[in-house]
Structure 1
């Protein structure tokens, strides 16, 4: 007997989120939740961020075991960026990105634009080491050399 698409958690994001939700009365740790909704790569990175003071819930620094509830504002400083999210759904298992995005409201400021860096002397593969002339030209392009 084939499984129907509605019964398959991978096909239905809402079903996947419900499957990852804790049982009634259970709470979810903040380090586990920020990992589950893909704000950090590993749960241990979430715990380390909490211990380092990089995670705040409703404006207060929290320990990794702090219980997250629906409606909490979670602020995470990670990778030179601050993420501000409001908890919409509490889950305990890691889910895919589309499902994870439904578990919070993202109020984060947009990431800073990447600085446009001109490629400084791209060499053909296999041409060997740069000559002294090539090196001076690269330094001049990068602005490291003395003005001549």
Structure 2
């Protein structure tokens, strides 16, 4: 799957080719935002990934730990893109557990909706006076 010159490829381009992000711009933005780490350190978009490197990639609620298996600068189908990396078993179990918690509604605050007029007055009184 590696094309010519695939030995020297930018990290943002590899993340895009491996289908972690829809565009290279989103991949670059995620890297610059500190969502991609290698060996516990933030990466730069121009970093050259090597076969065997392990990256921690945070996307929304999920955090994946992947090992680079192959380099490619060409974006192909999802089945072929999954051959570019291998997700660690620990990462898979953490993601599945987090997804189960989210599905069960364990994360986030569950409320009955907006507070009533009486509840608002109680909140204002608790805060120590009138909120203008």
What TM-score do you get using the length of structure 1 for normalisation?
0.62
Q: Which has the higher helix share?
A: 2
5+ long unaligned stretches in structure 1: 1-17, 118-141
Superposed CA RMSD in Å reads 2.2
Task: Return the TM-score normalized by structure 2.
Answer: 0.69
Q: Which has the larger radius of gyration?
A: 1
**Aligned pair count?**
104
Q: Give the match's secondary structure for 1:44.
A: helix
Q: State the Cα distance separating 1:105 from its structure 2 match.
A: 0.8
Task: Please give the residue correspondences for 1:4-23 in structure 2 after superposition, counting only pairs within 5 Å.
Answer: 18=1, 21-23=2-4
TM-superposition CA deviations, 1:13-69 (whole Å, max 9, x none):
xxxxx2xx2425741111111111111121111100111111112322111000000
Runs of 4+ in 1 over 3 A off after TM superposition: 114-117
Residue 110 of structure 1 pairs with residue 91 of structure 2: no
Rate the CA distance shift 1:110–1:48 in 2: closer, same or farther, 3 A. same
The runs of 5 or more residues in structure 2 that have no matched partner are: 106-110, 117-132
1:85 to 66, 71, 96: 66
The CA deviation string for residues 87-138 of structure 1, in whole angstroms up to 9 with x for no partner, is 0001111111111111111122324223347xxxxxxxxxxxxxxxxxxxxx
